[in-house]
Structure 1
């Protein structure tokens, strides 16, 4: 009986340690501005956000804007290369490429492609290519925007995409069954595991992520199936963004940056 009680106490201690551990952050600065959506920052310190469907880049000394209201709502923005920014207008099946001063350098209408494409996810990939999830075939492909060539790299898969993100070499997404997948530029697709229910999420690696649920923010590691509450001094917030050990919290007043070290 004593052994059973000891095992139960040990089990609950481990469970609480895995789920209820809290992190405190160190506030760095606050930047005031009004926006509808916050996109992120680049290595040069520029901030990117959207207001009234206008894409804005802001530095300490200058502001640039890109406006194309005829294409409707901006569905996604990829700023991983500040010299080649990708704006995706899903309603018009179109991608706009911008330079570092938000000048339009290329416009790609996927409806004009010889292979039918109905894009519902896009992002910048390695070698002048774009990641494309083609909803017509339910496959991931790569579109060479210099040659206007499209190559399918995966077999079809089931399930709607709840969230996706990409870098030069990988495309990651969570489907409507909370399954977390990764695809490489060579077409290798891997089921990484299941993730907790979320309102918003950002992948940190292929094992770790940060997610928002209600007014709380959590760090989740797949290897340990461990969830950690992230504490900060905001009672409510619209969005978060993580990069280079900086956690940015976006509210109606602007952004607050926190230093965070992920073990």
Structure 2
């Protein structure tokens, strides 16, 4: 009995210690940006943002803009491929593809497809395809935007999508019960774990997330079952973006970049 109590105590202590761990952010630089919402930056150093439903892409030398008055504000903007950017307008069941100068190259209205699609999620995949979650079937699949065909990858998913992110090879999502899943290009679904509740979130690996809750930033590592408080950052901000160990905080028309080392 004593051994059982000791093990239980050690388990609770370990988890609590993980929650009390701190991740110190070191300020690197700051950039003025007159916008409403900061999206992120690409590997070429361009910053992407939204102001008055206009998408902007700019650096110190040049800038580009795209707006679509009829569709309004995009629900999701995918900038993982700077040469092919996707804007998803969930309310209009439509995705727009842009080139590297934010010129429209293709408009995809899922409502016009031969197979009924009501997309709740969309993102750039490989080989002229988009990841698409069809709420009519609750299935995830690939939409080939050159052939206008859809390939179903999964059986019907349980739960509702609370958040999702895509890469060329994976679709990751968090459901309304805070369960985290990943699907690869072959339709294999992997359960990654249970995460903490959040107000904003970004997936940074297949076991780590950065999230905002009640005005504070945290890093959760599912491998070690630890939650780290990110300290030494701005106390009040609109949103954040993480890439290559740089945490960018968008405050009132300014982006501050911090170097953080994942524990």
Calculate the TM-score normalised by the size of structure 1.
0.94
2:202 corresponds in structure 1 to 202
State how far apart, in whole Å, the 2-side matches of 1:19 and 1:81 are: 35
Alignment check: 8 A CA contact 2:23 2:261 kept: no
Note the residue ranges of structure 1 that are not aligned, 5 or more in a row.
Answer: none
Aligned-residue RMSD, C-alpha = 1.9
Change (3 A) 1:29 1:136: same
After superposition, the Cα gap between the structure-2 partners of 1:152 and 1:231, relative to the gap in structure 1 and judged at 3 Å, is same
Counterpart CA distance in 1 for 2:132 and 2:3 is 56
2:129 paired with 1:167: no
Counterparts in 2 of 1:233 and 1:192: CA distance versus 1, 3 Å: closer
Give deviations 1:32-59, integer Å, cap 9, x for gaps. 1222211100011000000000000011
Report what 2:241 is aligned to: 241
Contact in 1 for aligned 2:29/2:258 (Cα 8 Å): yes
27-36 or 171-180: which moved more? 27-36
1:87 is paired with a residue whose SS is strand
Aligned residue for 1:38?
38
| Structure 1 residue 16, shift from structure 2 partner | 4.0
CA distance in 2, matches of 1:85, 1:51: 17
Cα distance, 1:7 vs structure 2: 7.6
Q: 1:105-154 CA distances to partner (integer Å, 9 max, x unpaired)?
A: 11110000001000110000111110001111111010111221111111
Secondary structure of the residue that 1:224 maps to in structure 2?
coil
Change (3 A) 1:8 1:142: closer
Q: 1:16 to 1:177 in 2, by over 3 A?
A: closer
Q: Distance in 2 between matches of 1:64 and 1:141?
A: 32
Cα distance change, pair 186–237 in 1 and its aligned pair in 2 (3 A): same
Residue deviations 1:232-259 (CA, integer Å, cap 9, x gap): 2311111111111111111122211011
CA distance, structure 2, for counterparts of residue 160 and residue 15 of structure 1: 28
In the alignment, what sits opposite 2:121? 121
CA distance in 1, matches of 2:101, 2:50: 15
CA distance in 1, matches of 2:76, 2:176: 19
Q: 1:200 & 1:108 partners in 2: Cα distance?
A: 28
Unpaired runs of 5+ residues, structure 2, are none
Secondary structure of 1:48's partner?
strand
What residue is the counterpart of 2:180 in the other structure? 180
- 1:92 match: 92
Distance 1:179 1:4, change over 3 A: closer
Q: Please tell me whether the aligned partners of residues 72 and 91 of structure 1 are also in contact (alpha carbons under 8 angstroms).
A: no
Shift of 1:6: 8.3
Q: Partner residue of 2:28?
A: 28
Q: How many residues align?
A: 262
Counterpart for residue 217 of structure 2: 217
Does the C-alpha gap of structure 1 residues 11 and 139 become closer, same or farther in structure 2, counting only changes over 3 Å? closer
CA contact (8 A) 1:27 1:257 kept: yes
Offset, 1:4: 10
Is the 2:15–2:226 contact (alpha carbons within 8 Å) kept by the matching residues of 1? Answer: no
